[in-house]
């Protein structure tokens, strides 16, 4: 048995401060649970900028004079490296949270682990009908989460974690998932998996400690390939290249964070291959999210002829004048999206494969 233990309350995801909130709600319960641990030295890692929490901890310390919990305040509200056990060990030594190897048998506890709770609290976000904190059994199916939280449009899948995590598709609804993350994102037909994956990888690159060639440079290469796909510059074979790269990252990254980054790409490609290949082979974004794969259209039943979009279009791609239903010239449109932002009537829409029927020329509107 190790001679020390750590309770880490810094959230890996700012949107899902599970341990942190539990500590603030009932600090004495958690502090007493730490005291009950057998290890000689006990650490509690907290956000040092939270004055309210600091006074709760002060009050408790005074009431328990002689307790041996060492409270370590860090200047950070979240960051996925804090979720790594080997990085937490660096933190108690006064160093930055830099992982030092695969998670070994390190005595680092979340508050839920410490209390031995049978259920796991997770924050649900994304395209779910209900958002916020929910509790689920530690082994859960995506179906159970979907039944509780729903999706705004037709359900497409889930993402467990952020930025590292696992995509689960609608076909895998009944596969049991070990709930280790504090954040679950529900995805529906309004979400593009490729767009989500690119955002996830950018966040990973920003937060990564940068020490490991396969973990950091591997994700840079992934980002380059994803960006090429999104800019319609990709080559056939890029998906195979991504899978090969991920396989090497899993073997050669210094810590589990790099391997987890690779797994998120693999699960996206295996679970949503058709949708991702659609961008490469058919130049389509099924969800009409990725600008390079969509066209912009004015809905003639909504346009009131205010002319705002025409002023906003620096490419002169919109025809029409005050009082006329406007029309977008698809040959001139560079898909910048500026017109969508200024149209108060929500009359300009992006379309993927299925395009709305529109006018060829502006005509006077009767609104």
Supply the minimum distance, in Å, between the C-beta of residue 307 and ligand SF4. Answer: 5
Among 186, 187, 343, 349, binds ligand SF4 (CB under 6 A): 343
**Nearer residue to ligand SF4 within complex by CB, 72 or 365:** 365
Supply the minimum distance, in Å, between the C-beta of residue 326 and ligand SF4. Answer: 4
Burial class (CB in 10 A: 0-12, 13-18, 19+), 331: exposed
For CA atoms 30, 35, 38, 41, the dihedral sign is positive
Beta carbons within 10 angstroms of residue 13's beta carbon: 21
Does residue 333 touch ligand SF4 according to CB under 6 A?
A: yes
132-137 and 324-325: which strand pairing? unpaired
Buried b (16+ CB within 10 A) or exposed e, 15-52: ebbbbbbbbbeebeebbebbeebeeeebbbbbbeebee
Supply the minimum distance, in Å, between the C-beta of residue 282 and ligand SF4. Answer: 21
Does residue 317 touch ligand SF4 according to CB under 6 A?
A: yes
Does residue 318 touch ligand SF4 according to CB under 6 A?
A: yes
The count of residues interacting with ligand SF4 (CB under 6 A) is 28
| CA–CA dist 172, 366 (Å, integer) | 50
Supply the minimum distance, in Å, between the C-beta of residue 342 and ligand SF4. Answer: 6
The two three-digit tokens of residue 168, written as one number: 């689960």
Q: Which residues contact 102 (CB under 8 A, 6 or more apart)?
A: 86, 255, 256, 259
| CA–CA dist 156, 308 (Å, integer) | 35
Does residue 359 touch ligand SF4 according to CB under 6 A?
A: no
Supply the minimum distance, in Å, between the C-beta of residue 301 and ligand SF4. Answer: 11
3-state secondary structure of 318: strand
Does residue 326 touch ligand SF4 according to CB under 6 A?
A: yes
Among 73, 150, 190, 337, binds ligand SF4 (CB under 6 A): 337
Q: Which range binds ligand SF4 by CB under 6 A, 159-167, 201-209, 238-246, 304-312?
A: 304-312
Write the binding mask 261 to 300 for ligand SF4: x where contact by CB under 6 A, - elsewhere: -----------------------------------x-x--
**Nearer residue to ligand SF4 within complex by CB, 283 or 301:** 301
Q: Which range binds ligand SF4 by CB under 6 A, 20-28, 168-176, 250-258, 344-352?
A: 344-352
Contact 213/255 with Cβ under 8 angstroms?
no
Among 143, 307, 323, 351, binds ligand SF4 (CB under 6 A): 307
**Nearer residue to ligand SF4 within complex by CB, 119 or 341:** 341
The two three-digit tokens of residue 354, written as one number: 């299925």
Contact 245/201 with Cβ under 8 angstroms?
no
**Nearer residue to ligand SF4 within complex by CB, 230 or 318:** 318
- Looking up tokens 């976000």 gives 125
Does residue 303 touch ligand SF4 according to CB under 6 A?
A: yes
**Nearer residue to ligand SF4 within complex by CB, 228 or 345:** 345
**Nearer residue to ligand SF4 within complex by CB, 32 or 284:** 284
The two three-digit tokens of residue 116, written as one number: 């031995």
Among 78, 335, 351, 359, binds ligand SF4 (CB under 6 A): 335
Helix spans in 193-303 (H): 193-207, 218-230, 238-252, 256-271, 273-281
Supply the minimum distance, in Å, between the C-beta of residue 295 and ligand SF4. Answer: 9
Contact 158/145 with Cβ under 8 angstroms?
yes
Does residue 77 touch ligand SF4 according to CB under 6 A?
A: no
DSSP state of 244: H
Q: Which of these, 243, 262, 241, lies nearest to 252 by C-alpha position?
A: 262
Q: Binding residues for ligand SF4, per CB under 6 A?
A: 296, 298, 303-309, 312-313, 315, 317-318, 326, 328, 333-339, 342-343, 345, 347-348
């Amino acid at each position: 048995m190790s001679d020390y233990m750590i309770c880490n309350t810094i959230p890996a995801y700012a949107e899902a401060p599970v341990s942190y909130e539990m500590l603030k709600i009932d600090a004495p319960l958690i502090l007493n649970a730490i005291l009950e641990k057998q290890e000689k030295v006990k650490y509690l890692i907290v956000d040092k900028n939270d004055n309210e929490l600091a006074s709760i901890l002060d009050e408790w310390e005074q009431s328990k004079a002689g307790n041996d919990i060492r409270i370590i305040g860090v200047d950070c509200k979240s960051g996925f490296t804090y979720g790594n056990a080997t990085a937490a060990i660096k933190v108690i030594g006064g160093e930055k949270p830099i992982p030092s190897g695969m998670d070994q048998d390190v005595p680092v506890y979340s508050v839920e682990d410490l209390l031995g709770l049978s259920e796991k609290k997770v924050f649900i976000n994304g395209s779910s009908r209900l958002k916020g904190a929910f509790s689920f059994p530690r082994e859960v199916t995506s179906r159970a989460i979907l039944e509780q939280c729903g999706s705004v449009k037709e359900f497409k899948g889930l993402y467990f974690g952020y930025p590292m995590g696992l995509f689960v598709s609608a076909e895998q609804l009944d596969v049991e998932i070990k709930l280790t993350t504090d954040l679950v994102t529900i995805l529906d037909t309004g979400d593009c998996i490729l767009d989500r994956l690119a955002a996830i990888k950018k966040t990973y690159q920003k937060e990564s400690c940068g020490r490991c060639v396969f973990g950091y440079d591997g994700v840079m290469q992934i980002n380059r390939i994803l960006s090429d796909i999104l800019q319609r510059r990709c080559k056939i074979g890029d998906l195979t290249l991504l899978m090969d790269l991920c396989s090497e990252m899993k073997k050669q990254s210094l810590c589990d964070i790099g391997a987890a980054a690779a797994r998120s790409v693999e699960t996206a490609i295996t679970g949503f291959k058709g949708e991702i290949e659609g961008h490469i082979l058919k130049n389509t974004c099924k969800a009409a999210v990725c600008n390079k794969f969509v066209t912009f259209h004015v809905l003639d039943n909504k346009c009131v002829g205010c002319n705002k979009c025409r002023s906003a279009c620096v490419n002169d791609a919109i025809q029409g004048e005050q009082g006329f239903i406007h029309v977008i010239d698809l040959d001139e449109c560079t898909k910048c999206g500026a017109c969508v932002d200024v149209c108060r009537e929500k009359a300009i829409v992006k379309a993927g494969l299925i395009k709305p029927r529109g006018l060829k020329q502006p005509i006077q509107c009767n609104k």
